[in-house]
Amino acid sequence: MKTKIIIITLILVFLVTTGFSCRYTPGDVAEQLKPVKLTWWRVWDTSDNFSSILSNYKVGHPHISIAYKKLRYEEYEQVLLEAWAEDQGPDIFSIPVTWLRKYQSKIAPMPESTRVPELRVSGSSWKPTEEIITPITPGPTPNDLKTKWVPTVYEDVIIENEIWGLPLGIDTLVLFYNQDLLDKAKIAFPPKTWTEFKDQVKKLTLIDEQSNIVQAGAPLGTAANVTRNTDILSLLMLQNGVEMPNFSSPSKFDSSYFPGQEALRFYLSFADPAKEVYTWNEEMPNSLDAFIAGKVAFFFGYSYHLPIVQARAPKLNFQITPVPQITSGMNDINHANYWIEVVAKKSPHQNEAWNFVQFASSQGQVLSYLQAAKKPTALRALIAEQEKDYDIQAFVAGVLTTKNWYHGKDFNRVEEIFKEMITNVHQGSATIPKAIDFAAKQVGVTY
């Protein structure tokens, strides 16, 4: 008891002598100010992108330190698994939203509220008054996600009416295009519809006398050498009215029409030498590499591809535009690809971890990250602000109509299934109906 009194006395003496006054809720002041260390693991971003958020949080929570760790995507999942096996995983970590169900058992759902001691400063600048309070901070509700975030977030992160993660941003598939190649082909503007896209691909594709593709219009029709091929084909299916993941089923409006089959047929046509739109084959290089080298006019990618292209091809004259739609301006559908911040189930500091995630993803804080990282927002209130940023206009244009269809437990396997489906038809080992039926059954197993 004497030891406890001495600790409290020493703390109070320190606070008074440093001009720090204290108002606190019932309980031990020493316990309220007990240091807390959180670990935060992510991919892609450096800590510099979060410098403003981290420093702002530190002002109000001086007793909480956050150790940020950036890992390579290629090693990330394995490092997480190894850390969990040894009970040394992070308190907060970032995952693709398609991994949520896969690792749900490792994640703690967001509580209705958090209670974390907070430093508040009031009074004048020459005579500030500082106090410690422990407010009850309510978290966003499912209805908040529906009204304040873009639609796909509500559909993706809520399981049994609980919120399991929050995004700092969202990404949409867009069309990169080589302005010089379009100008040479006398194409004034990039395509807005798939019909326009096909017409432009024909003009942009150059084939020599030996039937070699000298210049490609677009990297489509194959699997291994097309970056994000599963996303591109999924986009075509969604736009064509497929109710994913049942992409082998007939249309609910016409039992004789199979929209998934038609989407796959359209995708494959760009790698079929018998088609007018033939522009790509399995001998071509990786689609991103080909675009960077100026060998292909179009490339389907995300905002994280933007700095890659800029760094590897600083002189490449390229622009970005939203992906084509079946009918321009009518019921647009875009494809989402984004990560969410989650809190580990085994974290001893779930309360503080969720408090920080809510702080970092809030409208007042997350904009600094989005501006630094050049990422599109997931918050409705920031869309108008980001539409002014030329670099990410095309990405932002699709955030309200973007969709992520996969809510199963093994998206890595789904990507393999889609690649096998594309390759089997392309190489003639399966018909489109048989390949798509088999793939759909396999995808169903992952749910």
Distance between CA 232 and CA 255 in Å, rounded?
A: 25
Confidence of residue 328 (pLDDT cuts 50, 70, 90): confident
What are the tens digits of pLDDT across the range 194-221?
999 999 999 999 999 999 999 999 999 9
Distance between CA 186 and CA 203 in Å, rounded?
A: 9
Residues 403, 332 contacting (CB under 8 angstroms):
no
Maximum separation of any 2 CA atoms in the chain, in Å: 94
What are the C-alpha distances in Å from 352 to residues 117, 131, 282, 342, 430? 9, 19, 50, 12, 53
3-state helix, strand, coil in the chain (%, to 5): 45, 20, 40
Q: Find the angle CA(256)-CA(331)-CA(268) to the nearest 5 degrees.
A: 55
Residue type, 258: F
What are the tens digits of pLDDT across the range 348-388?
999 999 999 999 999 999 999 999 999 999 999 999 999 99
DSSP string, 62-82: TTEEEEEEEE-HHHHHHHHHH
Asked if residue 403 has pLDDT above 50, the reply is yes
Confidence of residue 28 (pLDDT cuts 50, 70, 90): very low
Mean pLDDT over each residue of the chain, to the nearest integer: 92
Q: How high is the pLDDT of residue 376?
A: 96
Asked if residue 257 has pLDDT above 50, the reply is yes
Q: How high is the pLDDT of residue 22?
A: 41
Confidence of residue 127 (pLDDT cuts 50, 70, 90): low
More confident of the two residues 236 and 131: 236
Helix axes 363-373, 51-60, angle to 10 degrees: 150
Peptide bond into 245 cis (omega under 30): yes
pTM of the predicted model over 0.85: yes
Strand ranges across the sheet with 339-344: 64-71, 36-43, 92-96, 339-344, 107-108
Residue-level length of the chain: 447
